[in-house]
Structures are given as structure tokens and as C-alpha cells.
A and B are shown apart, each in its own frame.
Chain A
Amino acid sequence: MKFLFTSFGIWSFTILCLIVFGRRERLCSVAGGLGVISGSLFAIASGVTTLLSNSYECFYLNWNYIGDKISFALDPLAAWFVIPVCGLSLLAAIYAIAYDWDNETGYSKSFSWILFILLLASMVLVICAANGVVFLMAWEVMAVSSFFLVIRDSAHSHSSQDAGWIYLIATHLGTVFLVILFLLAQAQTGSFDFMVWEKQGLNIPNRSLLFLLAAIGFGTKAGFVPFHIWLPEAHPAAPSYISAVMSGVMIKTGIYGLIRSIGWFGAPIPHWWGIAVLVIGIVSGVLGVLFAIAQHDLKRLLAYHSVENIGIITIGIGVGLVGLSYDNAGLIFLGFSGAVLHVLNHAVFKGLLFLGAGSVLHSTEEREIDKMGGLLKRMPLTGVAFLIGAMAISGLPPLNGFVSELIIFISGVHSLLSKDVTIGLCGAAVVGGLALIGGLAAACFAKAFGIIFVGEPRSDKCSKAEESSPLMTIPMLVLAMLCLVIGLSGAWLVAGVAPQIVQNISKNTSLDFAGYQSQLSNALMFVGLTGGLLIVLLALFVLIKKALIKNRTVSYGLTWDCGYTRPTARMQYTASSFAQPFLELFKPILRTRHHYHVHMPDNMFPQGANFHTETPDICHTEVYRPVFLKISEILMKFRFLQHGYIQIYILYIALTLILLLIWKIR
């Protein structure tokens, strides 16, 4: 806990320095970066020590206004979430120094860095809060600071501002549910303290209603379908390192809240909760990846993949909940371990991918996938890092995405092999759903990497692209190394850390996790060994091939182009064509719109033609838009109240005061 306070102290001091430095841009960047880095290091240290020692620390401050105490707690579950939050922010800060070095951004550098530190500090506070009021205040600061960061670069583009507004409204609507939940809990137990809620077990007015409130409230932040529509708007609009932080760790605070809230409802929980969460997870996963395949904009594609991975995490949580409702130790352990590990893994590879996208954007000033190409030769380090990130998010061994998906798959198999039919059906759904999600994600990233980084550049800006500065590439390479390391060493993570975290969630000390833990460690050890074997074999084969072709002729030339005399780079396969079979098969869900413009030829030669597809988000266009338009129609009727005469406004105030007086006198 002491480390955590040091972090907060450093961050507050940095904010002060930033206010003082004011206009000195370069100094602000360096100061902000150093502040974030040092604070994060201390926070990570506190998280690691908590995990290693399996301790639980609390801190109280008396405050007589609302609730009785302000309390913070750091237990293994919170520590596990603090580590990726601070780790990714650390790397993003290093990246940000270089990204903004020469850029003219909407705000001054000091304001930008102040917002970043506020975002980071509020995220850590949300995770460590043990009191409803503190939680909500930190939640609000997180939402507002990220909103300002999202609209930072929107001076030139209108759509960025719209994205910011959608984000702000969505997050506040979600927070409303949380406020109602906390108020109901306080009404029942008399305090805002989480420990009190856990001890008493919330069930008034109705446990299921409270669970729904929690699911919707936290789900909006996490990005469950159908509450996810702000994700594909806000993440592309924000500067890339902010997208990395938002997508990698901010949405995980929603997941953290959901897992925390499971402990408040007391055991045993009804069966349908787990099944509902499982269904939400599968739907989010499949819909997220389907919409991702249909996108042309790299950052929007990555945002939809965040929805998909949140779906995978939710599948794990769903399995764990089913296990909790049936008191099945295997399902609880495997489901929650998989979910929690995927939280870490997703932070790593999604952060990596967004930083890579930012690097590409920085060099080429181009966001559309179909205008890029051949960037691997021009930006080798970014390319390698993006490749590793793409393979990790597709769940390919020996990287980290495979490890967490394997754990969730094994939990699905355990469900399938159980005697109960309902659990068995859940298991089959988990395996089938996750298999489909994995296959589609691999297809989407084969498209993304294949079109952006290899082949020939499809536009001039891309042919002139240059590798980004080391401050931008080093964080990416660090994250890529982390993908490989976690992939190979998953066994030790599970053996060391998972039992305490799961124990934190399930609170039932009679269940025995040791058997499952050893089985899982065994499995992951083999995965790590396979990874090692792969690297050894690869090295061997490379040596053999080099020896083999030492005296052979190696000739170079153009790719076979079927005899065309003037091939151009635009004749290559495009990303839209790559994705077309998927869009065709899933047409009822995606509803891609095709727009053609063809100029009919009036002589021998063809005139220009133009083809353009767009896939608007189905929840946005079918659900939210009509509802909000209807609400705005109804509210328009009250427009007459706003007419501009200041005297009548003062009359309104006077009337209200008189009414209050009458009401209180009676």
C-alpha cells in the first residue's frame, strides 16, 4: 500500500509541475512522461508484492459527509488489474513523448499530460476503491478525462466531436445504472462500504434486478453488445496511445467491476446468471469480430476487436458463474483463470496493436487499410511488432492469446464432460462459439496484416513512409516480447497466481482447486515446451536451408502477373475483396451497403468508376438511433420553454422557490 501512495504522490506532484511549466512544450512532455513512468513503476511494484504475498491491505479515512469512511483495499484480484493498467500506461507514456513531439495537437502539452495522469490515477483508484462513493467519483473522473482526450484532435474533423459526445452519453447512461445499484445497496445495508455488502449479501429488492443493474452498468464500460456502440466511435477518434490505454485497460475496469460485484450477492447464485453472461459473451465475441472484418479503417477494426475480446473474457466469467451456481470447482477455477489471464493478455496485445496503428498513422497519415501496403519493408520494427500482435490476438501458439483461450477451451470441455445436461450444453456452446470467434479473428488479422504491411504500397504516402522514432518502437517491441514471454511461461503464472485470485472471487474455502491447478499447469508447461521446441526446430531448419542454398542460383524478378504489360500496385487484392465472402455469408447481421458510381463510357476507353461499401453498426442504426430520435421528437415539444427571455427564466426560478416554500410549510 505504501508504494501505491508513493505513486499517487508522484502523480500529484507531476500535475503541479505541469501547471507550473505551462507553455514550455518539450519540458512538459518530458516531465509528464517521467511522472507517469515513475508513478506506474511504484504501482506495479505494489501490485506484484500483493500478488506474491497473497496479502490483503486496507486503508481507511474518516469522512463524515456521505458514507462513513473512505476506504481503499488492495487484494490479489485488484493487484492483478493494477499491473496491466500501470504497465500499459507506462509504455504509452514513452510512446506519447515521441508521438506528440512535433505534432500540433488541439490542447497544450501540459493540459494533455494532466488529462493523461488524471485518467491513469482514476483507473487505479477505481480498482483500489472499497467504497461506493470513492468508486463512483473515480469512475466519473475516468470518464471525463478520457472524453477530453478523445476530442483532443478533433479541431478539423466533425466526426471526432460526435464520437466524443456518443462516448460521454454512453458512459453516463451506464453510470446511472451503477448509481442506482449503489443507492439500493446502501438502502439495504446502511453503508457504502464494499466489505459490508459482501458480508451481508445484497438481495433487496431483488438479487436478479441488482445483478442486471451491475451487468448493464459495468457492461457499458466494458463494451458488451448491445452497449458497445461508443467503442468503435471513441477509440478511433482518440490519439493512438490514448486508444491503446482506453482499449487495453480502461474497458477492463468494467470487467473488474463485474467480477467484484459477484462477491456482493452472496452464495448461491441462480443458474441463469451464468448462462446469461455466457450468452452475452458469445454474442459480443461473434458480433464484434464480424463487424471488425467489415471495417476499412484500421483503428475502427481494432476497436471492434476489443469488443470481441471482451466477449471472450465474458465467456470465461460466464463459465465461472455457472460453476459458482453449481459449486463446481473445476469450472470456477478454469473459467475465472481464463478470463483474468485474458484481461492481461488483451491489454498487452491490444496495446501493441494500437501503438502499431498509431505508428503507421504517424508515418503515412493514412487510416484506410486499402490505401496502404508494403510497409513491412519501410517500417520493419513496427511491422514485426504488429505481426506478433496480430498472431497473438488470433490466438496462435506459442503467443499469449493462445494460452488464455486454451484455459477457456479446457473449461468448456470440463463442462461438456459433466453429467448435467445444462452444463454440457454450455460447454458445447463455449467450444463452438470460441472456435468460430478464433477462426474469424485469424481471418481478420490475416487481412489487416496482409494488406497493410506486405505487398506493394497502394498510395504515394505509403511508399514514402519511414520507420518511427525509437521512443515509439521500443514500447511496441517490449509488448511483443511480453506476448512471447507470457505465451511460453503461462504455466508459472497460473501456478503462482491464479488460485489466490480465484479464491478472492469465489470466497468458498471448501472447494479444492489444487487438482485443476496442477492439471492446468501441466497443460501450459507442455505449451511452453512446444513453443521452445518450435524455436529450436526453426533455428535448425534455417541453418539447413542456408547451407543448402549456398551454391544455388537465387534469381529475382517480378511476381507473375499473367502477362500484363503495366501492372500497378492497385491491381493487388484489396481488403474489401478479402472480406467479401464473410460479408456475403453474414449479410443478415452485417447489412453491408454497397454504393456504386459508374460513368458510362462514351468512346472506346472506360471512364471512371467508383465502388464503396459501408457497414454501419447494427445496434446503432436499428436500436439506438430510432429510440433517441423518438425521444428527441418528444422532447422537441417542450422547446417552447426555452425562448430566451431572461425575465421569464427568473420567473421560473421564483415560481420554483415559492412552490418549495409552500411544500415545506405544510
Chain B
Amino acid sequence: MTISILLKTTISILASLILAPILLGIINRVKAGFAGRVGQPLLQPYYDIFKLLKKGLFYSTTTSWIFRWGTLVSLAVIVCALLIVPCGPFPALISFKGDIFLLVYLMGVVRFITVISALDTGSSFEGMGSSREMFFSALAEPALLLALMGLAKVTDSFSLTSIANTLSATNWFNNGASLALLMGTLFIVLLSENARIPIDDPNTHLELTMIHEVMVLDHSGPDFAVINYISALKLWIFSAIIAPVLFPIHTNNIIADFSVWLSGMVLISIAVGIVESSMARLRLTVIPQFLLGATALAITAIVLTWIG
């Protein structure tokens, strides 16, 4: 590894770590705009995280060491997952043939730990949220993996970095329909995994509507700050998978490429905000059909690549 590559990778990792919460801010601003309000400042997620980091902690007597240290394990896992995703022109630190699966299963670890921390509190609300979370993600995982397989099929490579590097405008020309369908599936999975409408409502804390928010009800202070940061990083990772498909532009100028990629990420956040403002949450019994529909789109995309 030469110094320049090492430097580039470090810069991209630092950029991801620092910029991730902005996406949440953009989504909130877009929602506020649709509602006719001015809305929170763009940097509000940062303010929230710092405010929470300064607070004290409250632990329930039911919980064990899993609850106390689980958030840190999730943070370590998701930072490792971040290292697999390429940031625009900067290649990922961990890149090998098959890193797609490592990424998806690292997210699975985060989910598993969140769920058992939630069950650790012994609260029925959190149990309900855990059950729904595992249910929907069990259905979303095939959709996600098949969509990533579709991308692999289109670019004939199966490492995220090489997929991002190989995607170009000619792919849109040749396999445009497949890529559009794959982007649709990936967007639906993004909405599902990040607890956005129409799967889950990130604003309310009522039993009827919550899946993700309820699992973190008992976390407090720095633990909750870490949880908010983890959800920001999750959104960043999922957007970073879609961004190269959206704008597969490779000039040789690093700054230009990175700006294009960043604008892709911002565009995706705006799209999430628009979807959140214009749709209502689906009934819980309809969500499996929705996710199955996403899987059907991914399979259609893969089947189309055999013809085109």
C-alpha cells in the first residue's frame, strides 16, 4: 500500500464518519419543507449526539452486560462495515470477492445485538419491536442480496469496490431496465432497513407504528448517542451502495468524482424525504407483500440480464 492510497483511504473513512449524520438532517429538512415549516437546522443530528454524550446514564435492573456493552459492539461492527463500502473514487479498505456478503451479515450482527439488548430489558414494547424487526429483515435480506447479485451480474464482478468502479454509462445503455429495477429494489430495502416510511415511522413512539424506535426506548445518555450515530452510519452505507448506480461517472479528477458521488448521496436523502412526506405507513400485514414485490423486481432484473 503506497502512502497516497493509504492517505486517500483514511480521508474517505474520516469523511464518511464525519458526514454521515448530515443525511438525517437533509431528510428532516425536506420533510419540514413539505409540511410548510422551516424545520430543524441541518446539523441538528450532530447537536443531538453531542448533547446526549454529555448526559448521565440510567440502566434498568433487569438488564445485564449485554445491554450495557451491546451498543459498543454494534458501533465496532458498523465501523467495520463502513470500511467495505467504497466512497466515490476512493476504494474501500476491505475489498475482496464476496465482500457483499460480509457487509450484509455485519448489518445482521448489528440487528441481532440490538434485538437481544431490547429483549434484555424485559419490556413487552421492546419485545414487540424486536419480533417485527427480525420478521421484516428476514424478508428484506433475500431482496437485498438478490439486488446486489443483479449488480454483480451486470458488472460481472462481485466486490463492492469493483462494482462501483466498473459501473459506467454504457451499463445504463445496455442494461438500463435491469439497473432501474435494481435501484428500485435497493431503495425499498434502504427504506426498510433504516426504519423509514412506508415500513416504519421514525417519529412516533406508539406501539402501533413502531419497529425500530421502540427497540431503543431504554437506552440513555451516551448509549443513545451511539445508537443515533449507528443509524446515521447505516443510512450512509445503504446510500453509498445506491449512489454509484445512480451516477456512474468516472472522470480522472478525484475532486469531481467525489463531488458527483456526494451529490448522489444527497439526492438519495432528498428522495427518502420526499417518499416520507408523500406516503403513509403501510399496514403491518401488507409489508411482507411489499418486500416480496421488491424481491420480484430484483429477480426480474436478474432474468432480464440474460436476454439483454
Q: Indicate if A touches B (C-beta under 8 A).
A: yes
Q: Which residues of A contact B (CB under 8 A)?
A: 373-374, 376-377, 387, 391, 394-397, 402, 405-406, 409-410, 413, 416-417, 421, 424, 427-428, 431-432, 435-436, 438-440, 442-443, 446-447, 449-451, 454-456, 519, 522-523, 526-527, 529-530, 533-534, 537-538, 541-542, 545, 548-549, 552-562, 569, 571-573, 577-582, 585
Q: What CA separation (Å) do A334 and B185 show in the bound complex?
A: 28
- Closest beta carbon of chain A to B306's beta carbon, Å: 6
B227 contacts the other chain (Cβ, under 8 Å)?
A: no
Q: Which of B127, B135, B221 contacts A573 (CB 8 A)?
A: B127
Is there an interface contact between B61 and A556, defined as CB atoms closer than 8 Å? yes
Chain B contacts of A374 at CB under 8 A? 62, 122
Is there an interface contact between A581 and B135, defined as CB atoms closer than 8 Å? yes
Write the chain A residue with the least CB distance to B285: A584
Is there an interface contact between B62 and A534, defined as CB atoms closer than 8 Å? no
Is there an interface contact between A519 and B97, defined as CB atoms closer than 8 Å? yes
Stretch at the interface among B5-13, B20-28, B70-78, B253-261: B70-78
Is there an interface contact between A428 and B146, defined as CB atoms closer than 8 Å? yes
Q: What is the number of contacts between chain A and chain B, taking CB atoms within 8 Å?
A: 229
Q: What CA separation (Å) do A396 and B115 show in the bound complex?
A: 14
Is there an interface contact between B124 and A417, defined as CB atoms closer than 8 Å? no
Contact (A542, B149) CB under 8 Å given A533-B80, A534-B76: no
- Closest beta carbon of chain B to A238's beta carbon, Å: 29
Q: What CA separation (Å) do A468 and B152 show in the bound complex?
A: 49
Q: What CA separation (Å) do A581 and B112 show in the bound complex?
A: 17
Residue-wise, chain B 128-156 has the 8 Å CB interface mask toward A (1 for contact) of 10111011011111101110010011001
Q: What CA separation (Å) do A560 and B221 show in the bound complex?
A: 16
Chain B contacts of A413 at CB under 8 A? 98, 149, 152, 158
Q: What CA separation (Å) do A439 and B291 show in the bound complex?
A: 14
Is there an interface contact between A446 and B94, defined as CB atoms closer than 8 Å? no
Is there an interface contact between A523 and B130, defined as CB atoms closer than 8 Å? no
Is there an interface contact between B97 and A527, defined as CB atoms closer than 8 Å? no
B64 contacts the other chain (Cβ, under 8 Å)?
A: yes
Is there an interface contact between A573 and B131, defined as CB atoms closer than 8 Å? yes
Contact (A446, B60) CB under 8 Å given A431-B146, A454-B120, A577-B127: no
Question: Chain A binding site: helix, strand, loop or mixed by DSSP?
Answer: helix
Q: What CA separation (Å) do A600 and B141 show in the bound complex?
A: 44
Write the chain B residue with the least CB distance to A522: B96
Is there an interface contact between B123 and A454, defined as CB atoms closer than 8 Å? no
Write the chain B residue with the least CB distance to A373: B122
Q: What CA separation (Å) do A559 and B87 show in the bound complex?
A: 41
Chain A contacts of B158 at CB under 8 A? 410, 413, 417
- What would be 22 A-B contacts, judged by CB atoms less than 8 Å apart? A374-B62, A387-B116, A394-B112, A397-B106, A413-B152, A417-B156, A435-B141, A435-B144, A439-B108, A442-B138, A446-B130, A447-B131, A450-B127, A451-B119, A454-B116, A523-B98, A533-B80, A541-B75, A552-B57, A555-B57, A557-B60, A559-B63
Q: Which of B58, B140, B149, B221 contacts A431 (CB 8 A)?
A: B149
B217 contacts the other chain (Cβ, under 8 Å)?
A: yes
Is there an interface contact between A538 and B106, defined as CB atoms closer than 8 Å? no
Q: Which of B98, B122, B156 contacts A572 (CB 8 A)?
A: B122
Chain B contacts of A427 at CB under 8 A? 149
Chain A contacts of B122 at CB under 8 A? 373-374, 454-456, 559, 569, 572
Is there an interface contact between A432 and B146, defined as CB atoms closer than 8 Å? yes
Chain B contacts of A436 at CB under 8 A? 138, 141-142
Is there an interface contact between B102 and A406, defined as CB atoms closer than 8 Å? yes
Is there an interface contact between A557 and B58, defined as CB atoms closer than 8 Å? yes
Question: Which of A391, A446, A447 is most buried by chain B, counting CB atoms within 10 A of its CB?
Answer: A446
